[in-house]
Amino acid sequence: MDMTGKTVMITGASRGIGAEAARVFAQAGANVALLARGQSEIADLAGEIGPKALAIPCNVARYSEMAAAVEATQETFGTVDVLVNNAGVIEPISHLASADPDGWGDVIDINLKGVFNGMRAVLPVMKEAGGGSVLTISSGAAHGPIEAWSHYCASKAAVHMLTRCLDGEERSHGIRAIGLSPGTVATQMQREIKASGINPVSQLDWEVHIPPDWPARALLWMCRPEADEWCGQEISLRDDAIRRKVGLI
């Protein structure tokens, strides 16, 4: 898909799915705004991509920083056509009875409030421009409990509902809100899960995890009109039919 002239803002762009999404969208011709707390990582990635990339240090859990990032992206590229809500964490993995309340809350701040902050910050810009796409990384954890992941499951379930709410309120204004459930991906998060040794996910062989460029390529495909039928819903990369549409098999 040709994204020339379009601008894509990606949270959690310092590594994993976010970094690969930046590369995929840039290769498709888009301008990419790279948001993350890891300043050196996004600076290096912006240097790799070139003048179409803008590195913006940002903590998505703080609305003021997210709003400032949107403003900086507008000033540099003129528009924000796509928001990829990718930033997310899973540590500290812990059972409810022993969970640290502050650590549990930090995950909610990033995984849930961070997604809301991104949506809230870009909506006025997108609506003024006549529309845009808000693509959010979901998870199978949104739909079923997983041992020691209460914070992650709760945040992803809430994010799934945020996508549905956004679609219900803003579809008529040209906003395309779609979730992507990628399955297990070979990223640093999976290394943290593996190290925890808790629940069946931590026992999976590394070879079963998909490479991070698969969800990145799916996100690019989700910008096509062909994905409109999933607005307000969630696309699963576990579905072979979706993998074929994206060109992964």
Catalytic residue numbers, as ranges: 152
For residue 151, the Cα-to-chain-centroid distance in whole angstroms is 17
**Does the CA dihedral 37-38-40-45 come out positive or negative?**
negative
Could you give the CA distance from residue 96 to residue 77 in angstroms, rounded to a whole number?
44
DSSP β-ladder status, 175-181 and 7-11: unpaired
Tokens for 61?
A: 């859990």
How many CB atoms within 10 Å of residue 77?
20
Tokens for 121?
A: 């910050």
Cross-strand pairs, 179: 136, 234
Could you give the CA distance from residue 123 to residue 89 in angstroms, rounded to a whole number?
24
Q: Which residue has the tokens 């690019």?
A: 220
Long-range own/partner contacts, residues 158-161 (CB < 8 A, 24 or more apart):
158/112, 159/85, 159/111, 159/112, 159/115, 160/234
